[in-house]
């Protein structure tokens, strides 16, 4: 097993407008919508913390200052909690925050796509590998997705992409990878195809929104031409990087909820609520009754 430069930093692109959740997102960033009692972005940051990430880089946009405020101490609230001896609540809040000086925020001034958002983090990330976590994708598993990816990275080096299996007849809806030789808990990626035509997909493994990338991606994105949607596409940049560096796929076997879509967001709330011992006893029968009423 070779020695690879440690993955210390994670990038979170949180500049999106969240138009699929209007009117709520007119005033509240979509990343701050709550799954049970935590904002969506907290679940993703927790996943990065579990994986040992030391520095959290948020690529924000206009009207996203609420996210920066959330990852800071709120003096008035904490002072009130102390006065009322709400020690459990104080401990909860302090445990959610990154350590002082380990969260950075930079602006994506124009909505030019995921590739452009990643490029905006280049000066903070510097010349080292980094994790990229799409904040819409909330995952649940015994071992966090990013933790498993870093374990695979320590074996494979290069770049790592998390993938999941879909029904073969649904592969045309996703970014699909080709499967090569086995590496630890994953495999060598032989190709990447964005939404392949029906019947042409190289596998049924789709990219699910978690990446470990080498810093050379920044140089590629800097001169990357605009692609689909007239945006700078990360996939286009990764295809160029794959000609120079290896890519491995980490097979994630947990649950993924796309909280950027209404159905995924609702399912996430139900799943995480039913997994809570303090909530399930009071809502389980009600959920069963609602489902029964649909029949």
Domains in the chain: ranges and CATH: 7-291 (3.90.550.10)
The pLDDT of residue 19 is 87
Token pair recorded at residue 221? 């994105």
Q: Which residues of 28-48 are buried (b: 16+ CB within 10 A; e: fewer)?
A: bbbbbbebeeebbbbbbbebb
- Cβ(247)–Cβ(161) below 8 Å: yes
According to DSSP, the β-strands at 103-107 and 55-60 are parallel
The pLDDT of residue 3 is 67
CA distance linking residue 208 with residue 164, whole number of Å: 7
The pLDDT of residue 53 is 96
CA distance linking residue 248 with residue 253, whole number of Å: 16
- Number of helices and strands in the chain (H, E): 11, 13
The pLDDT of residue 1 is 44
**Angle CA 159–13–99, to nearest 5:** 90
Instruction: Please report, in tens digits, the pLDDT of each residue of the chain (295 residues total).
Output: 456 889 999 999 999 888 899 898 888 999 999 999 999 999 999 999 999 999 999 999 888 899 999 998 888 888 898 988 888 888 888 888 888 889 999 999 888 889 999 999 999 999 999 999 999 999 999 999 999 999 999 999 999 999 999 998 899 888 899 999 998 879 999 989 888 888 888 999 999 999 999 999 999 998 777 766 667 889 889 999 999 999 999 999 999 999 999 999 999 999 999 999 999 999 999 999 999 998 7
The pLDDT of residue 48 is 97
CA distance linking residue 139 with residue 43, whole number of Å: 8
């Amino acid at each position: 097993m070779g020695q690879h430069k440690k993955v210390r930093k994670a990038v979170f692109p949180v500049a999106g407008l969240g138009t699929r959740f209007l009117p709520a997102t007119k005033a509240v960033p979509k990343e701050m919508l709550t799954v049970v009692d935590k904002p969506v972005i907290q679940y993703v940051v927790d996943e990065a913390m579990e994986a040992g990430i030391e520095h959290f880089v948020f690529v924000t946009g206009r009207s996203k200052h609420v996210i920066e405020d959330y990852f800071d101490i709120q003096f008035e609230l904490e002072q009130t909690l102390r006065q009322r001896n709400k020690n459990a609540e104080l401990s909860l809040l302090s445990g959610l925050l990154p350590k002082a000086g380990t969260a950075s925020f930079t602006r994506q001034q124009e909505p030019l796509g995921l590739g452009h958002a990643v490029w905006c983090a280049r000066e903070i990330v510097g010349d080292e590998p980094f994790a990229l976590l799409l904040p819409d994708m909330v995952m649940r598993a015994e071992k966090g997705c990013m933790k498993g990816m870093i374990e695979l990275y320590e074996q494979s080096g290069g770049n790592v992409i998390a993938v999941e299996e879909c029904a073969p007849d649904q592969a045309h809806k996703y970014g699909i990878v080709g499967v090569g030789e086995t590496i630890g808990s994953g495999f060598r990626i032989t190709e990447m195809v964005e939404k392949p035509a029906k019947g042409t997909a190289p596998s049924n493994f789709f990219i699910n929104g978690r990446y470990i990338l080498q810093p050379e991606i920044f140089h590629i994105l800097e001169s990357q031409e605009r692609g689909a949607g007239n945006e700078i596409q990360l996939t286009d940049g990764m295809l160029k990087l794959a000609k120079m560096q290896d890519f491995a796929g980490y097979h994630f076997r947990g649950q993924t909820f796309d909280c950027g879509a209404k159905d995924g967001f609702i399912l996430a709330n139900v799943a995480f609520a039913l997994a809570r011992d303090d909530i399930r006893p009071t809502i389980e029968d009600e959920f069963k009754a609602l489902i029964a009423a649909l029949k």
